[in-house]
Amino acid sequence: MLNQPLSVFISRAVTLVIAFTIHEFAHAWSADELGDNTPRANGRLTLNPLAHLDPIGSLLLLVAGFGWAKPVPINPYALERRTPAGPMMVAAAGPLSNLMLAIVAAIPFRIGLLEPSQTAGLMPTPASFLTEFIWINLILLFFNLIPVAPLDGEKVLEYFVPAGARSTLYQLRPYGPMLLMVLIFVGPLLGLDLLSILIGWPTRQVFQALVL
């Protein structure tokens, strides 16, 4: 990504700020609505990007195509007092917010105001910016749904698997970051690019459904 035109870099930087901020705010807002004031107490119930962006995670998204924001702290016990599905609902709120952002950004294409384009001059055009915006939000959607800790998908999976299988998830949880690194870096070297299957294919399918 370092050799991308300036317009693409600008589009991704602006998208990063919006997408990560809304994603983390969605976690915080849903937790607050379900009776957990932990995000509010930690200053995360805000649309201020500075409260949510992680410097290293943000830089990696720009230059490497993946990254992260600061996790929103929650109290699962407070959430479960409202509903056993509380932690799952809070986890799912983040990826769903990225889907909603992609849907809203696709409206100008669907109604014929713009044609999808990734080409621009020095500065992004409305079409090139929205195209990049949709792509990145869909990538964040499917990346975060990978059922490996600390991603949101692991919390969603935890709710749906039988109670007897949850102990296996708990045992694997400490190794989640290492498993992600293997998926991202080692898998392609071994000819096993699972990320293309888990993220690339569904991203292309949903992009076409939304835009084309």
Does this model's pTM top 0.85? My answer is yes
The type of residue at 70 is: K
Q: What is the mean pLDDT of the chain?
A: 90
Segment 31-54 mean pLDDT: 95
Spatial neighbors of 145 by CB under 8 A, at least 6 apart, are: 95, 151, 152, 153, 156
- 24 has catalytic annotation: yes
User: Which of the following is catalytic: 24, 132, 154, 158?
Assistant: 24
Assess whether pLDDT exceeds 70 at residue 120: no
The type of residue at 45 is: L
**pLDDT tens-digit map of 162-178:** 988 899 999 999 999 89
**pLDDT tens-digit map of 106-118:** 999 999 999 887 6
For residue 99, with 0-12 CB atoms within 10 Å meaning exposed, 13-18 middle and 19 or more buried, which class applies? middle
How far is 187 from 193, CA to CA, in rounded Å? 5
The tokens for 71 are: 């996790």
